[in-house]
Chain A
């Protein structure tokens, strides 16, 4: 293993983590890979949002270190942030290093979720970089006795414009020292604003600070290669799974046979033959085994005889979507109620209605949840892939019963996240296990733990109705959905804490419906939140992906009923210019021929068709997908041959990075549409591996053409959720175009397609 460099550590010994903020700039949270005991000590570096030094430092070598509470989930955020910062500060891209996610080192920036890293997470970093540049220019102006207006700056070197020999570098001006500059609180904002602010207008706040405009950016807009890729393809990348600390033990968890089962007894003698066993840890219904070696922990978890009792009986899988509708109602949200839908429906010439259903799905990250915790002597250090380290810190402190100041969370990248994952759950597991074992513990979930117990994306049942007048125009649009909240597994509600008892039962309701993209005279959107079936957490575009599937497929049904081309039909109701621009971009790229669906296909064994869907994600993000499919009428197999997608998500920072994000989101959208559904019996989940929960594989991958619609005047934003939103309906509509059969239940498995075709 590569030893930690001297620069990264200033002093050895027990209090090794005195961060040399004022001495060295290259401090990274890399202690996890070192052989030095992780002993959290008060850092000299501030982390409050109002101090420039909390965010940024410049070393004697001119290297810039930026500290962010946001983290990367494999989407290239580290690179995108670097581009934004280097542009704002006028330094080379290569000289910027990011320290991400360490409660001792980075300011609180809330959660890295909802595709908001670029839109919101980067904002304070840009402000800090701009403030640093302004401070440095002022220092240079004082040094040369000129005004700031007489200076130029490039690549971290300030020059007097008319006297080129008068030049000084950032390193000479500030290298190794603190700025001691206050930042405009109103703009940097701290947590609350960083989470709620919309796109930030320029200039910034009342301080006179200016962020650069689109014309002044050198790196933003360029396909800078991602900084993490070389290490990832050569096996040297630092994943949370690779964290090793001295004296570390290995653990596995043992989950109950049913949700809510009570642990009656453990037969310790069942592990008498297991070498290396250190401890069986039980706390309430939380159960784990700790061993010297990883394979010993796996073996112990497999062999331990446990008696459980009780637990919840699950509904019949085949009738899940009916039972969701009948589940105990928690709350109904009226998201939109314009005009009078009931009377418009009563007065309509024709009413069309349909029910669409979306299954329980998994994030199914490739590397199961993993964390390392060292909970000893009233202190805790936890290495986790958490996307909300500050929330995790608060919750773990409470769960462990130790003061907040004594808990440090150090983020390390986990396997790809498509929402949020079991990372916080593994952190809680590791923390409880380490606290009990009195040594550092690494825990990783087995595949069956991950598939069976990760916080999932819940099932949704959706009713859609449209009232049409004599001319076939939609006068009333009525949408209702039934689903549990998508955030029942928010970090305060970790699995370990639930099992151990005493968790705070997080009750935020999320994943409700969004107003449709279209304008109708009368519109009603209702979201019925029902009680929990499985613990849940956001999976890419929660609520939107399901709602879009129902609404955009239903819209196609109405267009077909009116024998109108689906694009023409959408254009009629789409009032937003950006939406129309994105719709047209996709239609043009796809070479869309105007005609109604279904296509008049001969009764051949394999038929083909095309379908379109429009989607949104937030106020300024639009996407359109055109799907081309082939349906094998004999086997029921659907093959997607081509996807054309147009996206607009503001100013493009890194075109190649964005294209890859879009492609990834489309492919995951296809996977969710064709293959994915969590199955269960009356006791528990039965989709416990990759055979019983199949996902997209290489032979299934279609050709994808992407049209990136750049909007230089709109602040940049993420696309990972946006691009996945319209996929399901586009595929659904293409299958209808090919076969004349409407599928209303995800996933479109061969059995389901065949059965639907058989009914015609």
Chain B
């Protein structure tokens, strides 16, 4: 079935089974590497994308359910040349080790900061409670999110 998507500000059409999880379409058809397979169960967050500004676990979302939404992946948020302020904060705080969790962490932080621009550390921890990082980069990540919020507050 032909499905129309809007991903990172561009239109894309794919011809796949509508039940196909969005993750495989993003990775294998659209060649986007930001969202990653972590568990296929919606538990870890590695596959996170934004859909209409809200986080979505693309490994458990059928592609057909994403057709009406504006999808943003980690590479759609900002690029190496023009990183988003949150990504800049992550670079400044060196908040990545292996980095496999970054879609979950950064996009969850983005959706959270959009709603809570002035969070406490405790609120950041709670906001990221369902995103896993296995390398133990949590403290740098919390600092980066805080840093991003403060950067925003100044603007």
Verify that A and B bind, or say they do not.
yes
- Interface segment out of the listed A132-140, A167-175, A361-369, A395-403: A361-369
Complex Cα distance, B30 from A1, in Å, reads 9
Taking CB as reference atom, which chain A residue is nearest B28? A294
Q: Are A234 and B139 in contact (CB under 8 A)?
A: no
Q: Are A663 and B140 in contact (CB under 8 A)?
A: yes
Q: Are B24 and A295 in contact (CB under 8 A)?
A: yes
Complex Cα distance, B32 from A660, in Å, reads 29
Partner of B136, one of A228, A294, A446, A668: A668
Complex Cα distance, B133 from A365, in Å, reads 9
Partner of B138, one of A229, A234, A244, A698: A698
> A208 contacts which chain B residues (CB < 8 A)?
none
Residue among B20, B32, B77 with the most chain A CB within 10 A? Answer: B20
A653-711 contacts to B (CB < 8 Å): 656-657, 660, 663-668, 671, 689-691, 695-699, 701, 704
Taken residue by residue from 82 to 101, chain B's Cβ proximity to chain A (1 for < 8 Å, 0 otherwise) reads as 01000100110011111111
> B21 contacts which chain A residues (CB < 8 A)?
295
Partner of A235, one of B74, B128, B132, B135: B74
Partner of A699, one of B103, B125, B133: B125
Complex Cα distance, B44 from A461, in Å, reads 32
> A602 contacts which chain B residues (CB < 8 A)?
none
Taking CB as reference atom, which chain B residue is nearest A232? B99
> B138 contacts which chain A residues (CB < 8 A)?
667, 696, 698, 701
Taking CB as reference atom, which chain B residue is nearest A668? B136
Partner of A366, one of B28, B125, B133, B139: B133
Q: Does B51 sit within 8 A of A, measured CB to CB?
A: no
Q: Are A235 and B100 in contact (CB under 8 A)?
A: no
Q: Are B38 and A234 in contact (CB under 8 A)?
A: no
Q: Are B100 and A698 in contact (CB under 8 A)?
A: no
Complex Cα distance, B33 from A241, in Å, reads 9
Please give the distance in Å from B23's CB to the nearest CB on chain A.
9
Taken residue by residue from 101 to 124, chain B's Cβ proximity to chain A (1 for < 8 Å, 0 otherwise) reads as 111001000000000000000001
Q: Are B136 and A234 in contact (CB under 8 A)?
A: no
B134-148 contacts to A (CB < 8 Å): 134-142
Taken residue by residue from 47 to 88, chain B's Cβ proximity to chain A (1 for < 8 Å, 0 otherwise) reads as 000000000000000000000000001110111100100010
Complex Cα distance, B5 from A494, in Å, reads 41
Given the interface pairs A367-B38, A416-B134, A447-B41, the reply to whether A237 lies near B94 with Cβ below 8 Å is no
Partner of B100, one of A234, A275, A367, A446: A367
Please give the distance in Å from A584's CB to the nearest CB on chain B.
25
Q: Are B98 and A225 in contact (CB under 8 A)?
A: no
Q: Does B126 sit within 8 A of A, measured CB to CB?
A: yes
Q: Does B131 sit within 8 A of A, measured CB to CB?
A: yes
> B20 contacts which chain A residues (CB < 8 A)?
293, 295
> A691 contacts which chain B residues (CB < 8 A)?
43
A72-114 contacts to B (CB < 8 Å): 73-76
Partner of A698, one of B83, B94, B131: B131
Q: Does A201 sit within 8 A of B, measured CB to CB?
A: no
Q: Does B12 sit within 8 A of A, measured CB to CB?
A: no
Q: Are A664 and B136 in contact (CB under 8 A)?
A: yes
> A235 contacts which chain B residues (CB < 8 A)?
32-34, 73-75, 77, 102-103
Taking CB as reference atom, which chain B residue is nearest A294? B24
Please give the distance in Å from B85's CB to the nearest CB on chain A.
12
Q: Are A690 and B129 in contact (CB under 8 A)?
A: no
Please give the distance in Å from B93's CB to the nearest CB on chain A.
9
Complex Cα distance, B96 from A250, in Å, reads 29
Partner of A74, one of B33, B97, B125: B97
Complex Cα distance, B27 from A251, in Å, reads 15
Q: Are A275 and B83 in contact (CB under 8 A)?
A: no
Please give the distance in Å from A672's CB to the nearest CB on chain B.
11
> A414 contacts which chain B residues (CB < 8 A)?
98
Complex Cα distance, B24 from A31, in Å, reads 22
> A415 contacts which chain B residues (CB < 8 A)?
98, 100, 134
> B33 contacts which chain A residues (CB < 8 A)?
235-237, 239, 241-242
Partner of B96, one of A232, A671, A696: A232
Beyond the given A228-B96, A234-B74, A444-B37, could you list 8 further A-B residue pairs with CB under 8 A, ordered by the A residue number?
Answer: A232-B98, A233-B87, A233-B91, A416-B135, A663-B139, A697-B130, A698-B126, A701-B139
Shortest 4 CB-CB contacts between residues of A and residues of B = A74-B98, A235-B34, A232-B99, A416-B98
A residues adjacent to B (C-beta < 8 A): 1, 73-76, 225-226, 228-237, 239, 241-242, 244, 250, 275, 293-295, 298, 364-368, 413-418, 444, 446-447, 656-657, 660, 663-668, 671, 689-691, 695-699, 701, 704
A-B contact pairs, 6 of them (CB 8 A): A226-B96, A233-B96, A234-B75, A242-B33, A366-B46, A698-B142
B residues adjacent to A (C-beta < 8 A): 16-17, 20-21, 24, 27-28, 31-34, 36-41, 43-44, 46, 73-75, 77-80, 83, 87, 90-91, 94-103, 106, 124-126, 128-142
